[in-house]
Amino acid sequence: MLCVKCKTAIDESSESCPYCGEKINRRKTKHITMALFFLCLVLLLGITYFTGVYTKPKEDVVLEQEERPAQVPEEKPQDEAPALTPTEVPSEGGEEDTASEEKTVTEIEDTVNDIAASAQEFYEKFGTYAVYVTNKGYLYEYLSGTYIKASDFEGVTGIKPENINDDVLLLYLKTADLADYPSLSVTQSNELVIFASYETKDGFIISSANNGGGLLPREDLRSVLDKYSNTHGAIKKVEIGSDDYNQISALIGNMYTGSGSFDFRYLFRDGKYCVAVTSPKGESTSISEHVLYCENNTWYMAFPNYEMYEKSRSVINTALVDINLELVPGYNLTAFKDYLRSDYTEVIRAMKLNSLITEEDEPMVFQSGTDDFCYLESASGRKFVGNLSMDSAWDVKEITNYEQGAEYIKSLTNRPPLFILKQY
């Protein structure tokens, strides 16, 4: 035990402290000892508690509500299956049994109206950077490659939680395609409008935030969606010298002044549409982009010079609702217009020093690119793609055709400037 006076350790059997002579009060000493014991116990428990909290696995910590990140639309990979499979509207025969019998018409209308309003709110909220298009008649976000569904609105718009229903189709249609149906109340317009649509035994109850709606029989909705089918066969290269090539060349040549001489930077088609990217010979930075369509084996201009639009795919899609947007090159020229170059003298000099080309290959008859990529064609017909590497040196690779050049550039960046290439 400890002496109360001098705080020296003494034998418990002692009647007095051998050092200071203080008499031992065992009761008082016992209280002090117990007090010290409880103090140590409290300190030990405290250390254990705080150590336990701060060593707790991070994933077990729950953030307070105000610390949680704000909800934003989920960024989904390009190859994810569509949220709403763009198949045909259910056909006749037995489908009536799957229609909702639990809700009244009024309840269904309330749900559809709420989803339509939320869809419009969602569209406006994210429309500054999203690219909304109609894909087979359904609302589709091009950049993420996903169909929009009602559950996307949860926590993002003012949708009522009880109304979230992914059985409600989100259509993206021109009201002009609906205006002739007497059962609908819509205005005549060529602008795309979002409609929420829910199947009942009598047809589809449809509604939009700003353009009415009504009840549309399933066979009528099927007829409308047929106009939005973008399946026109496989996408393929237009072969040089073919009848298609000659027609398209003549059509685009008329758009250029003087000789009409130009280069094809990109020329692909499906069974109905063709996209042609061109530039006048000797002016590789003056790039134009056009959509053509074929009718009775004859090609016509459908949408010229779409390169001027920042969201060109939305603009094209509004004009041509049945176009397969996979046909349109993935780049956007407006994002690169300030970075186009047509002089790569220093790259050509380095190619000569490294014996990649000889005098027989000169001059370079085509030069096109950006600050980081270039495409060169020699007088001898050889083709090269260059990339500015991390150590500020140009890596140059010889290629044989457009497809090989495109694959090489795509392997180097997730924003491949394929417009620098020349197909023909």
C-alpha–C-alpha distance, residues 387 and 42, integer Å: 67
Residue with tokens 């026109």: 232
pLDDT for the residue 102: 73
pLDDT over 50 (residue 351)? yes
Are both 317 and 363 inside the same structural domain? no
**What is the number of structural domains in the chain?**
4
Same domain, 282 and 263: yes
210 and 323 belong to one structural domain: no
**pLDDT tens for residues 363-407?**
999 999 999 999 999 999 999 999 998 888 999 999 999 999 999
Report yes or no on 80 lying in a domain. Answer: no
Question: Given pLDDT bands bounded at 50, 70 and 90, which one contains residue 103?
Answer: confident
Are residue 6 and residue 29 in the same domain, yes or no? yes
| pTM (global) more than 0.85 | no
In a domain, 195, yes or no: yes
Q: What angle do CA 368, 373, 374 make, to 5 degrees?
A: 30
| Domain boundary residue, one of 302, 335, 368 | 335
In a domain, 70, yes or no: no
44 & 125 share domain:
no
Residue 13 included in any domain? yes
> Which residues constitute the domain of residue 188?
95-226
Tell me which of 66-70, 271-275, 290-294 is least confident.
66-70
Residue range 238-267, pLDDT digits in tens: 999 999 999 999 999 988 765 569 999 999
- Pair 105, 181 in one domain: yes
Q: How far apart are CA 3 and CA 17, in angstroms?
A: 6
Q: Are residues 326 and 342 in the same domain?
A: no
Q: Does residue 109 fall inside a structural domain?
A: yes
Share of the chain above pLDDT 90, in %: 68
Q: Would residue 358 count as lying in a domain? A: yes
What pLDDT does 18 receive? Answer: 53
Looking at the predicted structure, is the pLDDT value of residue 352 above 80?
yes
Among 63-67, 119-123, 277-281, 299-303, where is mean pLDDT lowest? 63-67
Chain-wide mean pLDDT for the chain?
82
The radius of gyration computed from the CA coordinates of the chain, to the nearest angstrom, equals: 36
Do 178 and 257 lie in one domain? The reply is no
Same domain assignment for residues 49 and 158: no
Looking at the structure, tell me whether residues 253 and 320 fall in a common domain. yes
**Paired sense of beta strands 383-388 and 364-369, if any:** unpaired
pLDDT digits (tens, 9 = 90+) for 287-303: 999 999 999 999 999 99
The full 3-state SS of the chain, as one line of letters, equals CECCCCCCECCCCCCECCCCCCECCHHHHHHHHHHHHHHHHHHHHHHHHHHHHHCCCHHHCCCCHHHCCCCCCCCCCCCCCCCCCCCCCCCCCCHHHHCCCCCCHHHHHHHHHHHHHHHHHHHHHHCCCCCEEEECCEEEECCCCEECCHHHHCCCCCCCHHHCCCCCEEEEEEHHHCCCCCCEECCCCCCEEEEEEEEECCEEEEECCCCCEEEECHHHHHHHHHCCCCCCCCCEECCCCCHHHHHHHHHHHCCCCCCCCEEEEEEEECCCEEEEEEEECCCCCCCEEEEEEEECCEEEEEECCHHHCCCHHHHHHHHCCCCCHHHCCCCCHHHCHHHCECCCHHHHHHHHHCCCCCHHHCCEEEEEECCCEEEEEECCCCEEEEEECCCCCEEEEEECCHHHHHHHHHCCCCCCCHHHCCCC
**Do 322 and 343 belong together in one domain?**
no
Tokens in use for 318?
A: 């509004």
Of 327, 282, 337, 283, nearest to 307 by C-alpha is: 337
83 occurs within a structural domain: no
Does a structural domain hold residue 78? no
Q: How far apart are the C-alpha atoms of 243 and 263, rounded to whole Å?
A: 18
Q: Which of 197, 226, 255 is the last residue of a domain?
A: 226
57 and 15 together in one domain: yes
Q: What is the pLDDT of residues 10-48, one digit of tens each?
A: 555 556 665 455 655 544 444 444 444 444 444 444 443
| Side-chain-side CA neighbours of residue 422 (13 Å) | 25
Residues 56 and 49: their CA atoms lie apart, in Å, by 11
Q: Which of 318, 335, 352 is the last residue of a domain?
A: 335
